[in-house]
Every structure is written in structure tokens, then in C-alpha cells.
């Protein structure tokens, strides 16, 4: 199938590569054109040019502001021939903004699906992401075979914005686990135990988790090249605070963890992998 793909950051590039590996042809666009280097795909001159090439267009952007720009800018996605086409948004958006995106796409004759993913670069390259999907069921059934190429687990939550809200809730656990593991590691080192042994004990004890398994080598080698940045999880936790405020729910751990990730900006490590929060404790 010929697909469109917009947004070639760390995660987007890994997902695009996976789709190519599965035999799909891609037309891609990225604001910074150099990020398309190395991808065996046609590079479009604008988002509108992507629309005119593909029936299904994937978005994988940093935030809702970037998604809105791609949709509505001059030569944006919605200025092309969008009638009857599916726009699948893999971005983690603000839950209020996704409702605007549904309206914009519907008005232009297209079909918007929100499909935020759980997982980062490595599972993306293996087709092992978890994908949360909301939106029109007919549209979901149409794109499901392609989503199965990138996702090991698919969860269809029909009501608009529900998938986005659940992604934010998931990232509360992601950020909390990572911060707790990093702090535990720092304390263990401080009392004189070797880093490798601490992580081995945690991995068969209270720290055993997908997060520790995914980030153990980064912590051991202190290689914090970015799979999922601290800036991104900080953004997501900020959106989660807005959700808690709207629901009039307290957010104890989420608020603390968000402020810890805020410190990564002050330390100049916000663009490193979110496991680099270890540096704050060390």
C-alpha cells in the first residue's frame, strides 16, 4: 500500500522504517528535510503533496501545535485532496486539541483517527508497539491491517479523545517508574554497591518492569542517546495535569514527577533520553 508519513523524529523515523520493511511504499515530509535522509521513500515538497499521493497519511509530531500547523498551514495536509482519506495521528496530543483535529478533518472531507503509541524507537522498529485508537469504527477497520504492522497490541477506544487520555495516564506510570529506578540506583551506588549489581537485584525485585528492562543498558553505559526525550514526557505530564484539573482529581505523584522532568531543562539534558533523569539524582 502507498502510505503518507509526516514527522520523522526519533520515533517517526523508526515507524516509517518499519512500514517500509513491511512492503509499503511511502511518501514522506518533514519540516527539517535532512531528517528524511536514509529513508527509501519519496520525499514530498509539502504536506499537501503527501495528501495527493496517499490514501492513508500518518502523522507523528512533537505536540498538538505541530499537528495543527501540518494540517492548516499554507500547503498543509488539508489543502490537498483529502476527501475520503484517513489521517492517522500517532502523536501524543493535548486531549482538548484532538477534538479540534476531528472537526478540521471532517470539514475538509477526511477522516481523522487518533492513534497514540506506547513504546519508543526499539519496539517501533520491531513492530512491537502498543497502539491506542479512537475515532470512527469504519475508518479504524480500514487502517487496522496497517496498524498491525507497527503494533503488537491494538486497543480500540471509540470515543474521541479517549485514546489520548489513556496515553497520558500510561505515561504517568512510565515517568514515575523511570524516576524511581533512577533514584534507587543512585542511593545504591552511594552506599557502595556496583551499578550492575544494583540493577540486577532491582530487575528480580521490586524494580522489575518493562521500564527497567528497556533502560537497563542506558543506565549501565550512561548512554542517553534519545529514544524518548525528557522534553516529551514533561509535555505529556503537563497535559495529564490538565486532565486531572478538568476531572477535579488530585495528581500527587504525577505533579512531583513532572517537576523532576522540568529540572532536565535547567540542567540542559531535556533533549536526552528520559532515562537521563538518573543524572539529577547522581
What pLDDT digit, counting tens, does each position of 25-81 carry?
A: 999 999 888 888 889 999 999 999 999 899 999 999 999 999 999 999 999 999 988
Look over the chain and give the mean of its residue pLDDT values, rounded to a whole number. Answer: 96
With a cut of 90, say whether residue 276 has pLDDT above it.
yes
For the question of residue 167 being annotated catalytic, the response is yes
Count of beta carbons in the 10 Å neighbourhood of residue 190: 10
With a cut of 90, say whether residue 202 has pLDDT above it.
yes
CA distance 121 to 129: 9
Give pLDDT, residue 44. 94
With a cut of 90, say whether residue 253 has pLDDT above it.
yes
pLDDT band at 167 (very low <50, low <70, confident <90, very high): very high
With a cut of 90, say whether residue 94 has pLDDT above it.
yes
Q: Which domains does the chain have, with CATH numbers?
A: 2-159 (3.40.50.720), 164-281 (1.10.1040.10)
pTM score of the predicted model: 0.94
Give pLDDT, residue 34. 87
Q: Write the CB contacts of 170 (distance below 8 Å, at least 6 apart in sequence).
A: 118
User: Which member of 53, 167, 218, 235 is catalytic?
Assistant: 167
Give pLDDT, residue 272. 98
Question: What does the angle CA 101 – CA 102 – CA 104 come to, to the nearest 5 degrees?
Answer: 60
- Tens digits of per-residue pLDDT, 99-114? 999 999 999 999 999 9
C-alpha pair distances (Å), 76 with each of 6, 69, 133, 213, 271 = 11, 7, 24, 40, 27
Query: And the C-alpha cell for 58?
Result: 500518518
Q: Write the CB contacts of 133 (distance below 8 Å, at least 6 apart in sequence).
A: 113, 114, 115, 140, 147, 154, 155, 156, 157, 163
C-alpha pair distances (Å), 275 with each of 12, 187, 191 = 20, 16, 21
What is the average per-residue pLDDT within 141-156? 98
Give pLDDT, residue 82. 93
Amino acid at each position: 500500500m502507498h502510505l503518507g508519513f509526516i514527522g520523522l523524529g526519533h520515533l517517526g523515523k523508526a515507524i516509517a522504517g518499519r512500514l517500509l520493511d513491511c512492503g509499503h511504499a511511502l511518501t514522506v515530509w518533514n519540516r527539517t528535510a535532512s531528517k528524511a535522509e536514509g529513508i527509501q521513500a519519496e520525499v514530498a515538497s509539502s504536506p499537501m503533496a503527501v495528501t495527493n499521493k496517499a490514501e492513508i497519511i500518518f502523522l507523528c509530531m512533537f505536540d498538538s501545535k505541530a499537528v495543527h500547523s501540518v494540517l492548516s498551514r499554507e500547503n498543509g495536509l488539508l489543502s490537498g485532496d483529502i476527501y475520503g482519506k484517513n489521517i492517522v495521528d500517532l502523536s501524543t496530543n493535548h486531549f482538548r486539541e484532538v477534538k479540534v483535529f476531528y472537526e478540521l478533518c471532517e470539514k475538509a472531507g477526511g477522516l481523522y483517527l487518533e492513534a497514540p503509541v506506547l513504546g519508543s524507537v526499539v519496539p517501533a522498529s520491531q513492530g512491537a508497539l502498543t497502539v491506542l485508537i479512537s475515532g470512527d469504527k469504519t475508518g479504524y477497520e480500514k487502517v487496522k491491517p496497517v496498524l498491525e504492522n507497527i503494533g503488537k497490541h491494538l486497543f480500540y477506544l471509540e470515543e474521541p479523545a479517549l485514546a489520548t487520555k489513556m496515553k497520558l495516564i500510561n505515561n504517568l506510570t512510565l515517568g514515575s517508574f523511570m524516576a524511581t529506578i533512577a533514584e534507587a540506583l543512585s542511593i545504591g551506588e552511594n552506599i557502595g554497591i556496583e551499578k550492575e549489581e544494583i540493577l540486577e537485584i532491582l530487575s528480580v525485585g521490586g524494580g522489575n518492569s518493562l521500564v527497567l528492562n528497556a533502560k537497563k543498558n542506558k543506565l549501565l553505559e550512561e548512554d542517553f542517546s534519545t529514544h524518548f526525550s525528557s522534553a516529551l514526557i514533561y509535555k505529556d505530564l503537563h497535559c495529564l495535569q490538565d486532565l486531572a484539573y478538568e476531572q477535579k482529581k488530585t495528581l500527587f505523584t504525577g505533579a512531583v514527577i513532572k517537576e523532576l522532568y522540568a529540572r532536565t531543562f535547567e540542567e540542559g539534558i531535556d533533549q536526552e533520553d528520559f532515562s537521563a533523569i538518573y543524572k539529577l539524582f547522581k
